[in-house]
């Protein structure tokens, strides 16, 4: 039996805020951290001395490993390429597929970038970078 099954059986809904007199408020979120992309080999790069905190390596799940700046440029290039095709017969269909398709490479890259930006704003990431800078 999975946790989600237990939650459904007890009547708890995802995204709803719950409070009780005896318990502190809690919320069940459905978003998974690192579903599309994660920072790749951060500890190994730190040990080797080749870690760049502003341009870490990113593993976009199912697509490959990019550094942050390269992934940003790749997304930019893909979006420009998709927008340039708007004048063709299937241009809008292609653009809609790339932007709104559930598991398209471009949407995975965009969602992965968002997840990595969120991960880079966490206190754990900032602390790891600060500790690494002190050891250098």
Domain boundaries, the chain: 1-30, 34-135
pLDDT tens-digit profile of 12-42? Answer: 766 666 666 545 555 555 556 678 899 998 8
* E-assigned strand segments in the chain: 17-18, 26-27, 37-39, 57-60, 64-67
* Cβ-contact 52, 136 below 8 angstroms: no
Give the separation between CA 136 and CA 129, rounded to whole angstroms: 11
Identify the CA nearest to 116 among candidates 50, 42, 11, 17. Answer: 42
Q: Would you place residue 127 in the very low, low, confident or very high pLDDT band (cuts 50, 70, 90)?
A: very high
pTM score > 0.85 for this model?
no
């Amino acid at each position: 039996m999975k946790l989600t099954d237990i939650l459904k059986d007890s009547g708890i809904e995802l995204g709803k805020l719950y409070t009780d007199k005896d318990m502190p408020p809690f919320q069940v979120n459905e978003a998974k951290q690192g579903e599309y992309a994660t920072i790749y080999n951060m500890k190994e790069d730190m040990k080797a001395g080749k870690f760049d905190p502003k341009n870490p390596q990113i593993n976009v799940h199912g697509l490959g490993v990019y550094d942050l700046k390269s992934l940003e440029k790749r997304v930019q290039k893909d979006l420009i390429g998709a927008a340039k095709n708007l004048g063709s017969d299937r241009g809008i269909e292609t653009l809609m597929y790339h932007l709104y398709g559930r598991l398209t490479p471009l949407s995975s890259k965009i969602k992965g970038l968002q997840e990595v930006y969120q991960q880079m704003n966490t206190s754990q990431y900032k602390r790891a970078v600060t500790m690494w800078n002190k050891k250098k």
